[in-house]
A and B are shown apart, each in its own frame.
Chain A
Amino acid sequence: MNKTAERVMPIVFGLAGLAFWQAAVWELQVPAYVLPGPVAIVRAYFADYSTLNAALLSTLTVTFAALLVSAALGVALALAMAASDLARAAIQPWAVILQVTPVVAIAPLIIIWVNQPFLALVVCATIVAFFPVLSNTAAGLKATPQELLDLFRLNGATRMQTLLLLRLPAALPFFLAGLRISGTLALVGAVVAEFVAGSGGFASGLAYRILEAGYRLQIPRMFAALVLLGMAGIAIYAALGLFSHLMLRRRDAA
């Protein structure tokens, strides 16, 4: 398969799917509150785009705040774990417990505990998102080539020098790979938290609009919000991929 075909095929496939979907909805006269066709969804978006765009912006704000906190928290904990085995033993099980506990289950508690709605959403999204940064950075800090560590030792390097000049830069590709996964997870976390918070939360994010449209049986509007969410996820993933590519190229390229 050549490169052009590789690029074009997903689009062709998607368009064909949309055409089939629209044709089926028309032909079988499916009511819009059961399954709206793509045309109705696009119409619903343009009828209400200012609210939906504002909702997208609100969700993205929570997502980026959570991603930033995740990056900082993940790196800080990974450093602590790399610095001492005691810290590693202390942190690792709790990080895993936090990771495997479904955020849907803890979100209600967090929304009760944290008074400020924006903060509560960021906390929930961070719980979902921070683990990949933590585990990848920790793995990167551990995977420093032994020979380079030996070289640093032979030259009498201090622990701080080894960390700053060797371990951290060597862990950068691992951190970036983790950040990319965390980016999409932060979005998932933000959406889940909004769902749980409902009208008691920020009352403005995309998930809230999806709930609201569902209650009012505005199914095309609900789909329009879903589409925005999907596109936001793809955009975050692609943007972080590009960011990591540019960072590493700038650093390692001749």
Chain B
Amino acid sequence: MIEVSGVSKRFPNGTLALEAASTEIGQGDFVALLGPSGCGKSTLLRLIAGLDKPSEGKIIWADGEPRPGEIGFVFQDSTLMPWASAEENVFLPLKLRRKSRAETKAEVQAALQQVGLSDFAKAKPAALSGGMKMRVSIARALVSQPKLLLMDEPFGALDEFTRQRLQEDLRSLWRRSGKTIIFVTHSTYEAAYLATRVLVMSARPGRISTTIDCNIAESADRRTAPDYIALVKRLSDMLRREFKA
């Protein structure tokens, strides 16, 4: 679906944030970009989103450059507009494409339902918890039916319990919808739990150092499954070696 080919990004101040990153992302993949801070994982995400231009290399889309709304982006913070209700926030991407509220009512409702917030459509962000705000943010990214969902450490600011709930919900959402997701994280647990493929990155300059296919059998208690725990250990060892190097 996407081919990242030798992509580098040098910022105007001379910092090489990302060096010669190459990978392929297939339809329906759930890819985690895992690495310490400063390893260029957010930079790579922004390049894929088209928010920044690569200094070198190319990002090739198998079926053409994405049009507005075909990429859903979820940020570290929920970044909701505080003056707008949950449903108005979710409606935003459609509004920007000049769709009317009436014709998209069902789409907005469906998106809120996907994240389990149907009952909070009229609530303003100030009345929602951190986890609920993040759910609204995810619904906003889903409402335009994007072919690709990009998530930049979306659960980093949430408490452990809320984070696990959202991870579970995101995973079942991915299984139901078959969306392609690229997910930036610095948590080995999160990467191993969510992804089908983990790109381990190293810092200064940011590079993709290893690609790991996860192949964990689906099970009800994934967090205690032996191959999940083995994968977490493998990823942790890998990151530790990167740090020493």
Q: Give the B-binding residues of A (Cβ under 8 A).
A: 145, 147-148, 150-157, 161, 165-166, 169-170, 172, 251-254
Contact indicator B96/A251 (Cβ below 8 Å) = no
CA distance A169 to B127 in the complex (A): 19
Which A residues lie within 8 Å of B79 (CB)?
Answer: 145, 147-148, 151
Closest partner residue, chain A, to B72 (CB atom): A154
Contact indicator A155/B123 (Cβ below 8 Å) = no
CA distance A254 to B123 in the complex (A): 5
Contact indicator A157/B75 (Cβ below 8 Å) = no
Contact indicator A156/B96 (Cβ below 8 Å) = yes
CA distance A231 to B149 in the complex (A): 58
In the complex, besides A151-B79, A170-B81, 4 extra interface pairs with C-beta distance below 8 angstroms are A150-B73, A155-B69, A161-B96, A253-B126
Closest partner residue, chain A, to B98 (CB atom): A161
Contact indicator B75/A147 (Cβ below 8 Å) = yes
Contact indicator B126/A150 (Cβ below 8 Å) = no
CA distance A155 to B96 in the complex (A): 7
A27 vs chain B, min Cβ distance (A): 57
Closest partner residue, chain A, to B127 (CB atom): A254
- The residues in B between 44 and 101 inclusive whose CB is less than 8 angstroms from any CB of A are 49-51, 67-69, 71, 73, 75-77, 79, 81-83, 92-93, 95-97
In order of increasing CB-CB distance, the 9 nearest A-B pairs are A156-B68, A254-B127, A147-B79, A155-B96, A147-B75, A254-B124, A155-B93, A157-B96, A251-B83
Which B residues lie within 8 Å of A170 (CB)?
Answer: 81
Of B73, B76, B140, most buried by chain A (CB within 10 Å of CB) is B73
Which A residues lie within 8 Å of B125 (CB)?
Answer: 252
* CB < 8 Å neighbour of B69 from A145, A156, A161, A253: A156
B8 vs chain A, min Cβ distance (A): 21
CA distance A147 to B89 in the complex (A): 14
Which A residues lie within 8 Å of B68 (CB)?
Answer: 154-156
Q: Give the A-binding residues of B (Cβ under 8 A).
A: 49-51, 67-69, 71, 73, 75-77, 79, 81-83, 92-93, 95-97, 123-127, 140, 144
Q: Given A165-B95, A169-B83, A151–B126 Cβ distance below 8 Å?
A: no
CA distance A21 to B163 in the complex (A): 64
Which A residues lie within 8 Å of B82 (CB)?
Answer: 252
Contact indicator B77/A252 (Cβ below 8 Å) = no
Q: Given A155-B69, A157-B96, A161-B96, A150–B127 Cβ distance below 8 Å?
A: no
A-B contact pairs, 23 of them (CB 8 A): A147-B75, A147-B76, A147-B79, A150-B49, A150-B51, A150-B75, A151-B75, A151-B140, A152-B96, A153-B51, A154-B69, A155-B69, A155-B96, A155-B97, A156-B67, A169-B83, A170-B81, A251-B83, A252-B82, A252-B83, A252-B124, A252-B125, A253-B126
Which B residues lie within 8 Å of A172 (CB)?
Answer: 83
Closest partner residue, chain A, to B77 (CB atom): A147
CA distance A136 to B95 in the complex (A): 29
CA distance A177 to B97 in the complex (A): 33
CA distance A154 to B147 in the complex (A): 13
Which B residues lie within 8 Å of A150 (CB)?
Answer: 49, 51, 73, 75
CA distance A253 to B84 in the complex (A): 10
CA distance A145 to B49 in the complex (A): 18
Which B residues lie within 8 Å of A251 (CB)?
Answer: 83
Closest partner residue, chain A, to B120 (CB atom): A254
Closest partner residue, chain A, to B71 (CB atom): A154
CA distance A145 to B82 in the complex (A): 12
CA distance A223 to B60 in the complex (A): 78
Contact indicator B83/A254 (Cβ below 8 Å) = no
Contact indicator A148/B96 (Cβ below 8 Å) = no
Contact indicator A154/B126 (Cβ below 8 Å) = no
Which B residues lie within 8 Å of A155 (CB)?
Answer: 68-69, 92-93, 96-97, 144
CA distance A154 to B73 in the complex (A): 8
B21 vs chain A, min Cβ distance (A): 20
* CB < 8 Å neighbour of A148 from B69, B81, B123, B127: B81
* CB < 8 Å neighbour of A166 from B81, B97, B126, B144: B81
CA distance A137 to B198 in the complex (A): 45
CA distance A253 to B126 in the complex (A): 6
Closest partner residue, chain A, to B128 (CB atom): A254
A171 vs chain B, min Cβ distance (A): 12
Contact indicator B51/A154 (Cβ below 8 Å) = yes
A210 vs chain B, min Cβ distance (A): 44
